[in-house]
Amino acid sequence: MITRPLDLASRLRPEPRGFDALFYVNVGLLGFFFAVLGSRFVLAPGLGVDFQLPRLAGAAEGASQTLCVIRVLRSGQIVTDDGLLDLGQLRGWLKDRARRDRDREPTLLILASDGLTLSGLAEIQTAAHDAKFRVVMGAEEAGPAPGPH
């Protein structure tokens, strides 16, 4: 061993016998802060930020007020106010939202990324219609493409 010629092993501190109470206090505080201060609005790892709506002539004239908004990324991930959902969870979420807001007509705004497949969009619309939602598709007004700000 390389420490033998200089006798460095004798000068090292002994290994700690175990975790002291301060270690457990620190771990507990870290867990508490993550639980209390965690935010659903912080982007999850792997969630893209390059979301683009399709451009459509007359999109502004068809605008209406909606009860719920979901964003569907081209990867098929569905982002709601309650976080990231898959299609199975979305069905339950829509039924819960329709029950919660019975006094108003349930209207769902789907902001689908321009790379989403038609079959994926059809599955989401079917789930919304099954939950008795009126579906509105989101689009940007056609015109010159917005440049970098």
Higher pLDDT, 134 or 148: 134
Higher pLDDT, 3 or 14: 14
Give residue 75's domain range. 55-141
Give the type of residue at 44: A
pLDDT in tens, 85-105: 888 888 999 898 888 877 778
**pLDDT at position 28:** 92
- What is the pLDDT averaged over residues 19-37? 83
User: 76 lies in a domain?
Assistant: yes
- Whether the Cβ atoms of residue 89 and residue 127 lie closer than 8 Å to each other: no
pLDDT in tens, 59-81: 566 666 777 888 888 777 888 88
- Whether the Cβ atoms of residue 90 and residue 78 lie closer than 8 Å to each other: yes
User: 112 lies in a domain?
Assistant: yes
User: 34 lies in a domain?
Assistant: no
User: 20 lies in a domain?
Assistant: no
Q: What CATH number did the domain enclosing 61 receive? A: 3.30.70
Domain count, the chain: 1
- Whether the Cβ atoms of residue 93 and residue 121 lie closer than 8 Å to each other: no
List Cα–Cα distances, 58 to 72, 103, 148, in angstroms. Answer: 22, 30, 24
